Amino acid sequence: MSRPPLIVVFVAVMVIALGELGGAVLSQLRPAAARWVAARVVANPAAHGLSGSAEYDEEVRDRTVFAVEAGLSFFHTHAEGTGLVLFFTSTLVASVVHGVRARTALYLLLTAGALFPLGYLTYALAVLQLGRDAGVELAERWVLTPLGVAAIVGILGLAAALVRRPTPEEG
Amino acid sequence: MTPPISETWRLPPRAVLLAALLLLVTAEVGGASMARFKLELARWARGEMQRHPAVHGLVGVRDVDERALDEALFRFETGLRLFHMHAEGMALVIIATTTIAATLTGGASRRALVVLLAVGGVGYPLGYLLWSALIPGLGVERGKTIAEWTFWIPFGCATIVALLWLAALIAARVIRR
């Protein structure tokens, strides 16, 4: 099997490494992170719609802590997956797609797709900064959707290239 | 001068591939066993927990004890599920990253990276299995501490250090080109 360009391999390894690192940080610093998030919510009452009612505010705080932890947890699981997806799909591109332009386009799409988990980091930070709804909206619209679409289009493009072109062995 | 690097992937040593495949099989068998023997596993764990009432804070009041047992049982099952998921993922991570290390690095770095990636990748998920096994007898937190210091921290660190080292070596290659 042919090897994809070094920069693509670098991104794949970095995404897997960041996924591992994210998991380790999440498991070791969970209580400290939860405390920090709760403090940030209290420091930013307007964005989170805090009302001054202890019961309601506590619910908002818990919901935000949960959303931030979910974002970090999704980052960990998705980064491990998309790094591997980039490694295997870019190897297929290097091995079976012959046109330079098509190969470059697929590398770009698949590499962008591998960065999809960064959307969950954005999600965690945006929820904290802008409040739950606005944060989710921002992460979905500007990061998760474009990078997710890039991954899907890249994989579909690779599938189309596999269907259209014979592999070197098939001549 | 940097030696030229292969344009095709080089396979890592056969022992590493075999270890990854065995981990994959163990993960699949673990997942299947969790589904097939769910009741038996829960019954065993519950029985062990009841034999260690002090560890689980059981006081002899049914309502209180049931809640404590359910919580510990949930963690026991979580440990098994996380073993299944991490073992599947890490087996693929071992195959991909040792292939990269075998192709793009050389000499002592290659050997060290392949060993760290393989050992770290195989060892880390086993920590979840150990955690689950320890929960009934030692409790959730004590079991977690033991799994952390014997498996998660050493093997997890080995994997993270190796991945960052590998990324740095590739980045150096990219910059030198």
Instruction: Decide if B152 touches A, using CB distance below 8 A.
Output: yes
| Cα A157 from Cα A170, distance rounded (Å) | 20
> pLDDT tens digit string along A17-35?
999 999 998 888 888 888 9
A–B CB contacts, 8 A cutoff, strictly below: 66
Q: What is the mean pLDDT of residues B11-25?
A: 97
Q: Rounded mean pLDDT of chain B?
A: 94
Instruction: Decide if B97 touches A, using CB distance below 8 A.
Output: yes
Instruction: Indicate whether A55 pLDDT > 90.
Output: no
Residue A16: its chain B contacts at CB < 8 A? 93, 96-97, 163
> Structure pTM?
0.90
**Do A17 and B160 lie within an 8 Å CB cutoff?**
yes
Q: Are B125 and B105 in contact (CB under 8 A)?
A: no
Instruction: Give the residue from A1, A9, A77, A85 with the most B CB atoms within 10 Å of its CB, the best one to mutate.
Output: A9
| Cα B83 from Cα B77, distance rounded (Å) | 10
> pLDDT tens digit string along A118-155?
999 999 999 998 988 899 999 999 999 999 999 999 99
Residue B8 within a domain: no
Tokens of B83: 């073993």
**Do A2 and B9 lie within an 8 Å CB cutoff?**
yes
| Cα B94 from Cα B91, distance rounded (Å) | 5
pLDDT recorded at residue A111: 98
Residue B139 within a domain: yes
Tokens of B69: 């047992």
Instruction: Indicate whether A171 pLDDT > 60.
Output: no
Q: Which amino acid is at B76?
A: F
Q: What is the mean pLDDT of residues B112-134?
A: 97
Length of chain B counted residue by residue: 177
CA B2, chain centre distance (Å) = 35
> pLDDT tens digit string along B61-117?
888 899 999 999 999 999 999 999 999 999 999 999 999 999 999 889 999 999 999
- Count structural domains, chain A: 1
- Give the minimum alpha-carbon distance from A53 to chain B in angstroms, rounded to a whole number: 30
Domain that holds residue B47: 14-172
Q: Are B165 and B104 in contact (CB under 8 A)?
A: no
Nearest CA in chain A to B93: A84
DSSP B57: T
Instruction: Indicate whether A166 pLDDT > 70.
Output: no
Instruction: Decide if B80 touches A, using CB distance below 8 A.
Output: no
Residue B7 within a domain: no
DSSP letter string over A11-56? Answer: HHHHHHHHHHHHHHHHHHHHHHHHHHHHHHHHH-HHHHT--S-HHH
Q: What is the mean pLDDT of residues B6-13?
A: 93
The interface predicted TM-score (ipTM) is: 0.89
Q: Are B11 and B96 in contact (CB under 8 A)?
A: no
Q: Which amino acid is at A3?
A: R
In this predicted structure, which of A1-5, B57-61, B113-117 has the lowest mean pLDDT? B57-61
Residue A109 within a domain: yes
pLDDT recorded at residue A19: 95
pLDDT recorded at residue B111: 96
Out of B7, B166, B177, name the one closest to residue A13 (CB): B166
Residue A111 within a domain: yes
- Count structural domains, chain B: 1
Nearest CA in chain A to B85: A77
Residue B4 within a domain: no
Q: Which helix (H) or strand (E) holds A74?
A: helix A54-96
Instruction: Indicate whether B2 pLDDT > 90.
Output: no
Domain that holds residue A24: 6-170
Tokens of B84: 């299944």
